[in-house]
Structure formats: structure tokens, C-alpha cells
A and B are shown apart, each in its own frame.
Chain A
């Protein structure tokens, strides 16, 4: 049984217009029917570009955004159906790490008070009287701090006195202190310097090994997501287009969007950069308020076919003739044909497709 199971989740934000009385003139379909499940002790990585709804999805799980439709099963309960107070209590089991390490810490609270707040809110702490409870809480806070590589001397200091990486450690400690079952990491490293990113990623992995945590990692960087995750889900315009194990998604990306995304991620290795295929998409992300009919990606897809793509919305399905037990799922009508090479990307639909090798002069500039 999965720890977290999301079934057909939809989050639509109303667009309101009007001078005196607000009229709803449409909906932004930020998340439009996503189903996924996160296994205990594993990391599920959600990757996608800005505007694909990945952050909204993460927040909707915690009900920080209203859920329009769908179910969020966590520990045998449907979070989407809970009343506000039960949801509030439930939050001690699901925690979140935010993107902006400074912005997510109250500048007027010292670290001790930031870490203590969750414990106080949920009345956590063992002891017979106030003093003992207080001591127990202090112990838990220091423990969490030490887990992330800080010492109790941080308690009396304020967020702005720390460096970016340390702040993010504090953010992680805040999530840890409640001993949650699931931590949702929303772009945990994208605001950090490269060398600090790696420290934080390593820390997240260490913590998972030591404490058996389950993560839902949300990020725009495919390399980061692939590095930390067991299962990777790729989102495009509010829906999941592909889901596979971290190895499979790299070895055999099936969905055209995953392929383009993969080909766009720069690799710090000149030999790879010079030889690999680059597929450049034409155009921009369509507006989530008015998503294209059929496959959401068909407006930019270099593999687009005349039939089905613009009329029928593909479901997330396992590959036909796949081995049983395969967890690779894709939302494309023609995944098999694309995989076998029957359908080739059309140069007309992409801005440009640069095939690997130096034959076409794509082997780097200045040669």
C-alpha cells in the first residue's frame, strides 16, 4: 500500500473579473487530473517547467491550495475530504521544504522559535509538567538541528545571520522536528549555489537513509530530480505525461515532451554536449486557462500525427506489449511507434533539431 496516493486530482483557480460583483469568467486549470502514488521510503520526483502545475500539486496535497476535485489518500484517509481542523492536525505528518530559504523563514523569529512552533502547535512533547515538556521539546529541536549539521548555538540567532545553504538546512530541520512520514520538497535547491545544492541534496539522501523518510521532490531541473528520485513523473500543462523509474526515464524516454526536455538539459561535459541530439521546441507553453484540446502537447510536438493528437486526450497508460510489472507509464497515443522509430520527428514542427555529431557543424561553436 502506498503512503500517498493521488487520484485524478484537479485544482482549478477561478479567474474573476468585474467591477462591483466578481464574475467567474474561466478557470486556470493548474492541475488537471493527475494520479500518482508515492511508496513508503522512496522518493517520487515531479519535474516540469514553470506553469506546469507541479508546485500547485504539491501544495494541494497539503491543502494549502483548495482541491477542486479528486482524492488524496494518505495513511488511510482522504485528505481532500477532511474538514479544516482535522487537516490542520494531519499536517504534522506531512511537511514541506520550500524553495526560498530566506523567504520561508519569518525574519523576526529566532531559529529556536521557528523550530519550536510546530511542536507547540501540535502539543508534541513528553513530560509530566510544563518544564519537562519544554525540555523534551528543546531536546527534539536540538536533535533536528544536529541532524542537518547545525549546532544548538543556532537557536538564538535569526535567519538573516545564516548563509543560503544553512537557511535551507534550517528549513529542513523545521520539517524534521515533527517527525513526519512524508516531506514535500518544493524546489529545495534551485535558489542555492551549485556547491551548496550538492550539500543539501546529499543531506536529503542521508536523512532518508537514517530516518526512512518518504519524499515528494518537485523541481524544474531534470538532472536534480533524476539524481534524488526512485520514480520520476514528468508534468506538462497540468497533467502527467510520463512516469517511470529514474533509470528507465533516462534510458528510454517515451513521451515527446520528456525527450525534448532531456535533450535540453545541459550536461557539464563537452564531449556529450557536442555529440548529443538537441530538439528545440517551437513556440511557447499554451495558457493553462485555455489548454489545447486533445493531447496538451500537440501544439508543440515534433512527432505530432494528423489523427487523434488534437482530438483525443491520451491517458497515462503502460506501454502495450510491455513486460508485466513494468512501471513505465506514458500519455501518448503513439508512444510505441515513436519508440520503434516508425514515426520520426518532423523538422517543420520543431524550431530546430540538431542531431549529434560534427557532421552538420553542430559540434560546438568556433570550429
Chain B
């Protein structure tokens, strides 16, 4: 704290230096941005429904007080929001200025179409950017998502979704099972925990086509898998993919509840919160419902930890969303102020503390004061911090992400009714390769 004490001399020196800098045309870094400059502007925002959207809308008055900018925002269910955004942006005249982007699905598509404004310049402008918002504060995964291949920022990383292992401590104790550190241990533990007569199962996770990809990629990455080769060709029929699919097949057919082939996160969560499944791998954002007595029978009994280690490594499959400005917007500077506010320390802290999302900004995640305000269990926060260290993008950065998820996802689902992993992956691969080639050529 000592060097933060301000003496009159240092203030004078600082002012003189700042004055000198402004004379030479260099911006003074310490100043706050001119929040009020765009007062009276009106912005339109489309958000995906969820905790980020809620947190945004709940506190938007603070932004209007700060800047005098009026904000009209709407929350639309995720799938529909993605469609609406794409269709409107493609039309060239979107009805919104600011858009909530699902990176893991839309990054490459948005980038290739040039729909989002380049904000690299704004980030260097002290009249627009608060001093604490610097590129290096965002985690590597976030920057990978937000930057295009030329290194320009096209959005601000908002919230990251790591996959973690949720487990039921009570069931683990009852069977005397230790928390697994590797996938082999996890399978063994799941077998011990499965008691079909009692209706309890060792593992639950997404089996539904498309949705299941986000679970499978944890197995794939930890088996040493990479999505794309150096030429951008897809690599989902190799030995890593087969190993991952075999693990997926074993878990979801031998130790998972019946019908898991049709489960999305919602059904999986239902099985887990009812105490019927002992382990669940899914996104980090489900802690609030698991700890809510109105929705869960296992409040206080949930353990949180990182996804176990595979044969070739340990990663947490990472997904995320950001907030960007439509290239066609006429109010880009005002919109930038809004994006900046959405990912600000204050807003990020609220999000993290409610368990509704994890900010990409390290300064928020590592701030002890913010950490102490987190309402979720300590273990949850620890699993987030640990996952951040082993984070790896959970889906390939390509345009036809949806086709990829559908085709490979359908192959995975087929293996749940007995099909051979290698054959199914090969089939999906053959179908997907021309689609990818066509999308990159266009």
C-alpha cells in the first residue's frame, strides 16, 4: 500500500507529465474514459437468455446513469437468438447495435462474414477505455475467441464455460469410493456406484445428438485429440477419437441411467439432483440449481472438481460467449462503452458471485475480495480456478460447427445402441469433410 500514498509532489509531477504527454499527443493512461460523451444515444441489444442476460438487464440502469445512453435490450432463448443474430447481420441492416455472441458456435462464421466491428482501436483510446481494461487481463482462451487471424479484437470476452466434474458426496461415501483423478478411475468408480436395482447410476451426461459433443470433447482432448490438422482438415476419425468414443460408450451404456441417449443437460441435471446419478460432467454454470433447495435434493452434498485426466493429458473443454458490436451499427463508440460495462469488474463480480458465469478476466477471478463474496461452495470456485489453468477450446473453430456437432453427435448416439465407434466415426467423418471444405472455399 505504501507506494499508493499520494504526495503533493507526485501529484504535481504526474499532472505535469500528463500535460506534457497530452501536448505531445500521447494519451494519458490514468484518466477515466469520457463516459458522458455519447449521452442521449439509444442502443439496441440482443442477448441470449440466461444468467448473463439477466445480470445485464438487472443492472443496466447503472450504465444509463453513468453515461446517459439509453439501452433497449431483449433476451431470446439461445438457439433463436443465434438464428436471429445471423439472419439480421446477413441482411446488412441489423436492428441491434450490440450482440451477444456464442463463441464456440459462431466465432468463425462471424469473423469470415465480417459482421462485427473491429474494436482494437477503441481499446487503445483512453477516452473510450477504462485503464483497467487491458487485453492481457483476459484469459488466453478468451483472447483466442475474440481475436481474428490478424490479431484484431472483434468482441469482448464475457463469460467462459468450463466443463467440470460434479459428484454426489453422499453416494461416494456410502460405497466408499474416492474421487477419481483419471478416467480409468472414474469408470471403476462409476461401476461401483451403479446399483440398477436401487435405480442409482455411476455417471450421467449428455447423450442427445449435438449436445453430447460438449461432453465428448473432454474425453477427446484428454486422449490427446486435436480437431484440425495443419491444413484445416478435420481429425475426428483417428485413434484419439475412437478412444474417446469408446469411453463415452462405456460410461453411457454401462453405468448411466436408461434412456440417456435422449438426455440433454436438463435431463442429466434432473437425474443428478434427484440423487440418482453419482457423477456428472457438464458446464460450470449449474451450481446454483444444484444448491437450490427448491430444485435439488442434494443441496450441500455436491462435490466439484476438475475433469479427470485422460491417457494423454488433462484439459477442461472450454466454451464461452462474448459481446460485440455490429459492423453496421451507427453508434459504435457508445456501443463500445456498453460492451465494456458488460464485462466490467463490477458486473463480472456479480456474475461470478451468483454462480451464473465465470468472467474471462483474471483480475476478477483472482480478486480475493470478489472471491470471498461468492455464494457457491468453495470447492466450486476452486474447480473454476483449476479448470482455468487447463482450459482448451472444446470445439473446432470452423464455420459449420452445427453440422459438425450434429453429424459426429449422431455417430456418438448411435454407439449407445451398440454401433461400433470406429465405423460410426468414419461415416460421420466422410459426411462432414465435404461440408467443411465447401464452407472454407466459399
A binds B: no
Interface residues of A (CB under 8 A from B): none
Interface residues of B (CB under 8 A from A): none
